[in-house]
Structure 1
């Protein structure tokens, strides 16, 4: 029953919808979600009014999460997802507001011991407050210039390192003089030399600890800056990683006082070196810390001028190797001792020759390449904007990494890092009218918290009900958060059944309900027996007709089977169709929609088409009425969407 193009095209003219679109992925592609997740939102909180900017802060040690918005900070309970405490911080200097309402948009939340440090725009006069953690009472406040931006649209970052605060924020109201500084705390304020970077956009900063060597600990800064190459074919941006020593107190009173003496920067490469094709626009960074700093991994999200995004993964050992061993760009003299960028106990005593190289030649000649040297780990046409990475211990006691990527349209993709290959486990659509503004991972509770302009959502990463139909479905998901047990597909336990590496279902028990892998015929028969046979109302000869079944996995191949004949599916969003241009005597009988993925075959839908009423049709008439009505409306050209299951 193969349908020729000459027959199908006239039939499609009856239908006022498209069977393919940019949002409809193709079967068999790796860069698409296996599952379209539905019920994984485990909590929602609405803001009192639309927020132009929201900030999420998660403190791993205490498990506390705070949300900052316009004139408020509140504390979240993640187990029940409710607000525990709300703090109002309205602008304190309304006489200096120049445009619009005088608002205090919270841009910095950090925790110092028993206190909370909060900064905001404060009506274009940045200000900071120190709050008692127990009572939320303001116990100190001071000027926030250089810590918070003047408006929420300006670039800013903050990082607490022990008792000190490192920050990125402009010093001027027009957004100029944007630098990375140590700006608050018990130690000396230190800032950057003006010529080190050009029109930067700072993306992330991270403190990499060395328990056995604290004097060599460094703070890493990830940013993109204007490309000095004026060639029209060159990308206008270059992505960078820079570092400064935690012990850096600046230079002596005579030279480089209050200026970083250890600042070095290097280019982050993500692309295809053999083709000289690179993703140069760094968008987001997630640093996955490990006990041994050498094993710490940097996950970086890039975009390109050709509307594609990529994820590259870097080893901290490789990054440090470039800073420790590369030559200095455009510097051809002997390297002085100590080597420029070396962490020392007293930076004010560094010789002039060492600091001069840092001042005039801070860039390394060598580039930082990812662990998958010849290509990015993951490339997609999705416009990803946010990135987080979780570590998950599976039933086999191995630890797997799962990437969580958010798109500009509010979708979240859960992606398994399986060796050098990505596998998209699922897609979750955040039910919001605006894009995701902020995203934080609570690895202990296995929840992803995302905020939009209207709401905050908690996404349950251990939502296993989606795969609960059978052991095969649970195993095929390759989801480290879920395993098959006697209770069904549940959050992973040591005795659970999984096959994370290849997803083959041969690990499932050999029984009728679990689709015996030894006898494919028996397995398919058992699968079909579990699916209701839907007998449709009579369809006259010569009438065009269609059948539909839902797509749960884009990694599967869907086929319509009728007798000994097979026909491929025609895709429409999350449904697959079988189009019959005109009913003939041979068109009547039973149809099965079958999905095949790896070593697993499953009957998704079963239909029977007849040209006259019989006893079985009468019994199923009520059940089939919705399908008949749907067919009628579509044939009349009223464009009813197909989402039956």
Structure 2
């Protein structure tokens, strides 16, 4: 029994080490929070004079942001970093008659859902916008002149152009002045619709029998490739090609051709080119991530072929064992094209069968003029035989503790000329993660708190011309710069960030934007190797020495802050030797705790280690103080002088005039975005006991030592950590072995598929 207990402890420790390593790899290196006054180092601006910014549209030059909100359409001047200025606002509120009708229909939370939420906002041309809103569960649309921001015509009913309900997802895109939409076309949201309208000199087209072709879809995104002849829609739906014990959700990509005008007799005013294929985001030997939440097109860099276009999508799983886990998979445009150019399946009454006729041109453009017999077969043949697999048949990122909801991406070239993909991922908790995909794997450069509390994010858009990310939410619109190079004050910090946007410039001695620098730049995105990049460059002054006086048999608590969340803090003596654990307690939060004695007098260095580089971030000189009974004057009062010069009660004695919370504040104007960033590095020295001297110099009663309690709490904390590690290891093993409650011995399967 004792042997089994020892094995269990070893297993727990191994599992805990694995968890720490894996979690550390996906831990954001730097975190930026919103301060109590609402300010943030990384959120450049916030526009709050708007409710529910559900739709965002950016002008081609990146200078104007159009916002579709609740009962309003706005245009914001975003040409200046850190400033969001209102240019125009058009109020569009449903009439009282429409509101009364909406309320009578008895929808849940009618007062919230009955206003007009703008769900489609698209450019028709260089001078006009197309707008469609839910309008009290009676969709209406209009056209706005951008210069004057006036309606070109009165709002009209627009069933099938945008959803009835503000909570339903939809997608729309304008191509050559024509609008392609995927939404629902009824009050209950049960009738899907994929259509084209405002067609230039030709008929509008839509799906025939959409409820047979699409099964409870949720539309995510639409895109059109410049120079290509097709429009693509991304969505999820319930699969009917698999025989499964329960509803199986699958992610899809669908296509329609821009030249599709419907058939002459069969499929009149209906798509003849609609086809769909399954997107597969695998996770090794486990069930794939099957629910698509958002997807973004990553255009190729200048000079690259359109065949290099890729799509990055956020996925989750419908299986309960994978709840709270997000994955990012990437798909190639050429793989999508290959699926639509391959074989198809035909729907026969209640099942799919392989289409034996290989000569028919399913999925190809130009089918409108085909004979009726062939179009009759086209009506039933719209699912590809081949699925679209993720690149290299694997995920590019897996987050075990974050649910991502929205994504934007950008390609940039590092100082070496190597192209890197940078993802901006919004979490459900209101943080924006900036991730670089290197050859070694994903690296989360930083996380930025965009909202004070979790928000339902409606939209996110990236301006590559201005280097800004815009986030729309119920609170308004936030502007976040893509980089913050001036935050890094030394070459080592700049290189260890592994940010492809930033590099250290030796001639100026600052961390600057790579795109604006033509001189020698020090950068290592792959490894963050400071030894090779910063040798002989950094001349950073060490931290100030904080002197404090300990008291015999009293707890002394020294604390220093991590320069990054991926660094490890250790405490050392002046001669760089480690502290003996029998005397010193290091809880793991960067602090050092010990009982004052003659052995604890000396100098202590708090050393941060990251990427193999050690850096002293705090130095404390601990001296022996006099006992309370030996103090008879106010000159021996125990206090810390604050930055304002006001004495602050504490449990350690400090040389008068020297604050252990001394802050070194520096500021540098960011050449990346042109706004000032101030950083603070604080070294705190705290003692858990109260001051022993009153204001008049008289000693107080002796204070009880809490050494026993500290030891007990430490033991309980260690036991809790080991228990949690064991539970996590058990959960991971269960996740690998148990599939849908079939037991550990069952064979992994998604069910059977029709041949």
| Mapping of residues 241-640 of structure 1, within 5 Å | 241-253=253-265, 255-273=266-284, 275-290=285-300, 292-304=305-317, 305=319, 306-307=322-323, 308-328=325-345, 330-344=352-366, 347-352=367-372, 354-419=374-439, 421-435=441-455, 436-467=457-488, 469-485=489-505, 486-492=508-514, 493-495=517-519, 496-511=521-536, 514=538, 530-541=542-553, 543-562=554-573, 564-566=577-579, 570-572=587-589, 576-580=590-594, 582-612=595-625, 619=655, 622-624=658-660, 627=684, 631-632=688-689
1:60 matched to 2:60? yes
Partner SS state of residue 432, structure 2: strand
- Partner SS for 2:294: strand
Give the C-alpha shift of residue 242 in structure 1: 1.3
How far apart in 1 are the matches of 2:355 and 2:115? 53
How far does the alpha carbon of each residue in 1:575-607 deviate from its partner, in whole angstroms, 9 at most, with x for none?
Answer: x22343x44433332222212222422112222
Question: Residue 149 of structure 1 corresponds to which residue in structure 2?
Answer: 163
Structure 2 counterpart of 1:31: 26
**Cα distance in 2 for residues equivalent to 1:359 and 1:590:** 81
Q: Find the counterpart in structure 2 of residue 45 from structure 1.
A: 47
Residue 192 of structure 1 corresponds to which residue in structure 2? 207
Q: CA deviation at 1:625?
A: 7.7
| CA-CA distance at 1:622 after TM superposition | 4.1
Query: What's the counterpart of residue 185 of structure 2?
Result: 171
C-alpha displacement of 1:221: 0.9
Partners in 2 of 1:463 and 1:323 — Cα distance? 42
In the alignment, structure 1 segments of 5+ residues that lack a partner are 1-20, 516-526, 638-645
Bigger shift: residues 221-230 or 409-418: 221-230
**1:326, CA displacement in angstroms?**
4.0
Distance 1:312 1:559, change over 3 A: same
- Relative to the length of structure 2, the TM-score reads 0.72
Aligned equivalent of 2:90, options 84, 87, 90: 87
- The 5 A counterparts of 1:216-231 are 217-228=229-240, 229=242, 231=244
Give the aligned CA root-mean-square deviation in angstroms.
3.0
Q: Deviations over 1:290-328 (max 9, x none)?
A: 363211100010012312000001111111112212453
Higher relative contact order (CA 8 A, sep 6+): 1
Between 394-403 and 108-117, the greater mean CA deviation after superposition: 394-403
The alpha-carbon distance between structure 1 residues 604 and 471, as it changes in their structure 2 partners (threshold 3 A), is same
Displacement of 1:375 = 4.0
Structure 1: distance between partners of 2:439 and 2:207: 39
- Distance in 1, Cα, partners of 2:405 & 2:453: 16
Aligned 8 A contact 2:550 2:625 in 1 = yes
Judging changes above 3 Å, is the alpha-carbon distance between structure 1 residues 535 and 320 closer, same or farther for their aligned structure 2 residues? Answer: same
Q: Secondary structure at the match of 1:624?
A: coil
The residue that corresponds to 2:751 in the other structure is none
Query: CA-to-partner distance for each residue in 1:68-117, whole Å, 9 max, x for gaps?
Result: 11111111111132112212122247346322455221111111221111
Distance in 2, matches of 1:316 and 1:323, equals 11
C-alpha contact (below 8 Å) 2:436/2:444 kept by paired residues:
yes
Is 1:208–1:219's contact at 8 Å kept on the other side of the alignment? yes
- Change beyond 3 A, Cα 1:633–1:409: farther
Separation in structure 2 between the aligned mates of residue 207 and residue 188 of structure 1, nearest angstrom: 20
How far has the Cα of 1:569 moved from its partner?
A: 5.7
Kept in 2: contact 1:328–1:361 (CA 8 A)? yes
- Quick check: 1:202–1:222 contact (8 Å CA) kept in 2? yes
Q: Deviations over 1:462-488 (max 9, x none)?
A: 211221x20110011111221212151
- 8 Å contact kept, 2:61–2:465: no
Aligned-partner Cα distance in 2 for 1:430–1:449: 10
Structure 2 counterpart SS, 1:623? coil
TM-score by length of 1: 0.84
Q: CA deviation at 1:451?
A: 2.2
The structure 2 residue matched to 1:127, chosen from 140, 147, 151, is: 140
Q: Which residue in 1 is equivalent to 2:701?
A: none
Q: Is the contact made by 1:117 and 1:129 (CA closer than 8 Å) also made in structure 2?
A: yes
> What SS is found at the alignment partner of 2:90?
strand
**Cα distance in structure 1, aligned partners of 2:374 and 2:619:** 76
TM-superposed deviation, 1:633: 7.0
C-alpha offsets along residues 386-407 of structure 1, whole Å, 9 cap, x if unaligned? 1000122333333321100000
More displaced, 72-81 or 221-230?
Answer: 221-230
Name the SS for the 2:339 alignment partner: helix
Question: What are the Cα deviations for residues 471-523 of structure 1, in whole angstroms up to 9, with x where unaligned?
Answer: 11001111122121215112222323222222111343433x616xxxxxxxx
Whether the 8 Å CA contact 2:62–2:466 is kept in 1: the answer is no
Q: What's 1:162 paired with?
A: 176
Taking the aligned partners of 1:594 and 1:628, their CA distance within structure 2 comes to 15
Alignment check: 8 A CA contact 1:27 1:555 kept: no
Residue range with higher mean Cα deviation, 291-300 or 389-398: 389-398
The 1:93/1:111 distance shift into structure 2, 3 A limit, reads farther
Moved over 4 A (4+): 24-28, 566-569, 613-618, 625-630, 633-637
Contact conserved, 1:539 with 1:609, CA < 8 A, in 2?
no
Task: Measure, in 1, the Cα distance between the counterparts of 2:145 and 2:545.
Answer: 65
- How much does 1:247 deviate? 1.4
CA distance in 1, matches of 2:571, 2:686: 22
